[in-house]
Structure 1
Amino acid sequence: MSLVLVADDEPAVLEVLSQVVEDLGHDVIQARDGEEAWNLARARRPNLVVTDHMMPRLSGLDLCRKLKGDEVLGRVPIILLSAVLPHGAPEAHAFLHKPFEITDFESLIRQALAEAPPSKGLEGSAAVEALGTWVALGFEGPLSTARAQVERLRTEGRADGGALETLGAQLRTMEALSRDFQEAAQLAARTVMLRPVMADLGVHLRHTLEAWRQDRPQVRWTLEAPDSRVELRFDPARMGQALDALLGHAERHGGEVRVELESTPSLVTVRVKDQGPGVSDEELRHLFEPFRAGGAGSGLGLFIASELARLHGGGLSVESRRGQGTTFSVVLPRG
């Protein structure tokens, strides 16, 4: 099973092309214009890109050029669709002139994926999920015992308060790692199911930010959001989990963490900005990879956040420059 990014500004065409890809047994992420496709490609690293040429904000041809010029995405094959380009473009792996037969499209999908570079992400399987559950259960006993002993020492006053606080913090970190490992395994095995509801994302974001404001008062938390309701179909628990990962990454630098909510008729974007030292280009290329030792993307939180954004039909991207902080953007479709 591969991940295919399909980009077209005509909703009906986008749905038909996506359905064909899904019928071939692959996962699909959708983009409604070239700029959205570029952001999703950077966030999700698809195995194949299928794009129309005539699109707003960024044409299919310009998208091809940006993808080919990217160090990470340059080897990803691209199928370019167009009714105005008679012979395609050298930047594309393959070309189909509109209108075309679905059977020709299916053949190109199979051919392109056969030549696509392998995905660097986790491979989903029942074995991976079982391993995650085993690790979580295996940690639960020792962690429970350690928590009880720390609480006993605190109650009896037989240990230094500072040492107990440090031990408590380390236990909480281990508990979080255990939960994240199990969550990452379930995401890799594709067994995570969303429970979406129609709700106001602005209200949800305000509640999430208020909890962080109370827990981390040393950080200046600011929110810029529309006064009107931002109705969206999403899973509140899973979206909160993704936001917590981004806020947790941002607050490590102290100072101010700025959260912005932007809404258009077709998209909702949540940006989390920090004033930290920024992330190097090398770290950016691996930021959403799981199980990395050291570096800005250590741990599983950002991988989990990117996967949860994908499950919502959107994507997570990042922009950063040394000395200018880091901005994470969650882009979600409305509809």
Structure 2
Amino acid sequence: MSLVLIAEDEEALLEIFAEVVEGLGHRAVRAHNGEEALTLARTEPPDLVVSDHMMPRRTGMELLRALREEPHLSTVPFVLLSAARPVGREEADTFLAKPVDLSSFEQAVTAALRSRTPSEPRPPGHGAMRESRPASGAAREELINWVAHELKTPLSSARLNAQVLLRKVAQRGAEAECRSAEAVLRQLDRMNQLITSILDAGRLSEGKVELRTAYCDIVPFLTEVVSEWRELEPHVEFLLTGTRDPVLVSFDAERVRQVLNNLLSNAVKYCGERKRVELGLGLSPGLAVIHVRDWGAGIPASELPNIFDRFQRADDNPDRGHGLGLFIASQLARLHGGSLSVRSSRGEGSTFLLRLPLRH
């Protein structure tokens, strides 16, 4: 049995995290703020620390760095949780974005405990990526992080509890209750997507989104994206077309995946009876051109000039989105030094084109 120290200032979330950890067969020690967590770690060194970031009296990142500075605690695995994206989060052994998925949380705890081996103490600030910001910019970023924390923390608690409930009723074979729990989860996921989109739109407008780019072949990445969508939407035919030769592009995989997921999600929603979506890769001078095509109803010509504006949708159905996805996708394309455009005709479907600069 391993000792897991959990630091979380929201009581409901602290209890569900502890319940899950204890359900895995480990002992959970609870801390309500960063300072209390540090004291408990010094009193009884844990095998793993799971910590929220935005806490009183010491943030999760401050707790992590304090532990790394103490020789007998410097090698303790650290799982950082946050609704925001704190600077330096890569210093943690694992980072999980709130709301946390139950299975992902269990896997992270199990993997971190398995990796627990004695090693040389880490130097203070190991892996840190420091940033300097103007005071006003830092204040805005702090406000965005606070909003993310205040909205996503109760959402994370509700989602984890719903997942635990679903697991319990499924074990009893209660189909009606399972359907109810699944419906709750779907609505919580919609809330999470909306909150994430609002926060992303705000960060993009303020110029606060940072890219973590790498030069690499984008072809395997696109193959992986299509494979994921084939599993997610088995009733839709996903085609992968274009060059299979290596195409080196400087891109942030997480953010380009976000763009493509938005385009593919829209294509699935609007693909009509043909149930076919195409993801293709081509080349033009200095650019990799990725297209997402559907053969649905198409977009009215009157809507095309404003399709990438905030809160714009191709129709008035609120169930089809909140009108921020294409704005965010377009802004992320620009952040990469590329662009996002669309061609569409009524009755013939739509083709979105993402252009990314090639490596020189």
TM-score range with shorter-chain normalisation?
0.5 to 0.7
Matched letter for residue 133 of structure 1: N
1:208 aligns with 2:220: no
Q: Tell me, which stretches of 5 or more residues in structure 1 are unaligned? A: 1-123
SS of the residue corresponding to residue 221 of structure 1 reads strand
Q: CA-to-partner distance for each residue in 1:278-320, whole Å, 9 max, x for gaps? A: 1112222221112347647743211111111101111000111
| Alpha-carbon distance in structure 2 between the residues aligned to 1:218 and 1:283 | 29
1:287 paired residue number: 307
Point out which structure has higher relative CO (alpha carbons under 8 A, 6+ apart): 1
1:221 aligns with 2:277: no
Q: Choose which of 243, 254, 258 in structure 1 pairs with 2:278.
A: 258
1:316 paired residue number: 340
1:231 aligns with 2:243: no
Q: Tell me, which stretches of 5 or more residues in structure 2 are unaligned? A: 1-135
2:292 paired residue number: 272
2:21 paired residue number: none
| Alpha-carbon distance in structure 1 between the residues aligned to 2:351 and 2:209 | 27
Aligned CA RMSD, in angstroms, stands at 2.4
SS of the residue corresponding to residue 147 of structure 1 reads helix
Structure 1 runs, 4 residues or longer, greater than 6 Å off: 124-128
User: Measured at CA, do residues 268 and 156 of structure 1 come closer, stay the same or move farther in structure 2, by a change above 3 Å?
Assistant: closer
Matched letter for residue 290 of structure 1: R
Determine if contact 2:194/2:322 at 8 Å carries over to the other structure: no
Matched letter for residue 330 of structure 1: L
User: Measured at CA, do residues 266 and 152 of structure 1 come closer, stay the same or move farther in structure 2, by a change above 3 Å?
Assistant: closer
| Alpha-carbon distance in structure 2 between the residues aligned to 1:256 and 1:321 | 17
User: Measured at CA, do residues 128 and 243 of structure 1 come closer, stay the same or move farther in structure 2, by a change above 3 Å?
Assistant: farther
User: Number of paired residues?
Assistant: 212
User: Measured at CA, do residues 165 and 297 of structure 1 come closer, stay the same or move farther in structure 2, by a change above 3 Å?
Assistant: closer
Once structures 1 and 2 are overlaid, which stretch shifts more, 286-295 or 272-281?
Answer: 286-295
Matched letter for residue 213 of structure 1: R
2:68 paired residue number: none
| Alpha-carbon distance in structure 1 between the residues aligned to 2:353 and 2:181 | 38
1:241 paired residue number: 258
Matched letter for residue 167 of structure 1: V
Deviation at 1:153, TM superposition (A): 3.6
Q: Choose which of 152, 175, 190 in structure 2 pairs with 1:140.
A: 152
SS of the residue corresponding to residue 303 of structure 2 reads helix
| Alpha-carbon distance in structure 2 between the residues aligned to 1:220 and 1:262 | 20
Normalising by the residue count of structure 2, what TM-score does the alignment of the two structures yield?
Answer: 0.54
Matched letter for residue 209 of structure 1: V
1:150 paired residue number: 162
1:187 paired residue number: 204
User: Measured at CA, do residues 128 and 299 of structure 1 come closer, stay the same or move farther in structure 2, by a change above 3 Å?
Assistant: farther
Matched letter for residue 261 of structure 1: L
1:168 paired residue number: 185
Q: CA-to-partner distance for each residue in 1:247-268, whole Å, 9 max, x for gaps? A: 1111113500011100245221
User: Measured at CA, do residues 162 and 319 of structure 1 come closer, stay the same or move farther in structure 2, by a change above 3 Å?
Assistant: same
Determine if contact 2:250/2:357 at 8 Å carries over to the other structure: no
SS of the residue corresponding to residue 323 of structure 1 reads coil
Deviation at 1:214, TM superposition (A): 0.9
Determine if contact 2:213/2:252 at 8 Å carries over to the other structure: yes
| Alpha-carbon distance in structure 2 between the residues aligned to 1:326 and 1:225 | 18
| Alpha-carbon distance in structure 2 between the residues aligned to 1:202 and 1:168 | 34
1:303 paired residue number: 327
Determine if contact 1:132/1:183 at 8 Å carries over to the other structure: no
Deviation at 1:131, TM superposition (A): 5.3
User: Measured at CA, do residues 125 and 291 of structure 1 come closer, stay the same or move farther in structure 2, by a change above 3 Å?
Assistant: farther
Determine if contact 1:275/1:324 at 8 Å carries over to the other structure: yes
Identity across the alignment (%): 37
Normalising by the residue count of structure 1, what TM-score does the alignment of the two structures yield?
Answer: 0.58
Q: CA-to-partner distance for each residue in 1:211-266, whole Å, 9 max, x for gaps? A: 11111111100011212111112121211111111111111135000111002452
| Alpha-carbon distance in structure 1 between the residues aligned to 2:138 and 2:311 | 19
Deviation at 1:156, TM superposition (A): 4.3
| Alpha-carbon distance in structure 1 between the residues aligned to 2:322 and 2:351 | 17
Deviation at 1:149, TM superposition (A): 3.8
User: Measured at CA, do residues 239 and 155 of structure 1 come closer, stay the same or move farther in structure 2, by a change above 3 Å?
Assistant: closer
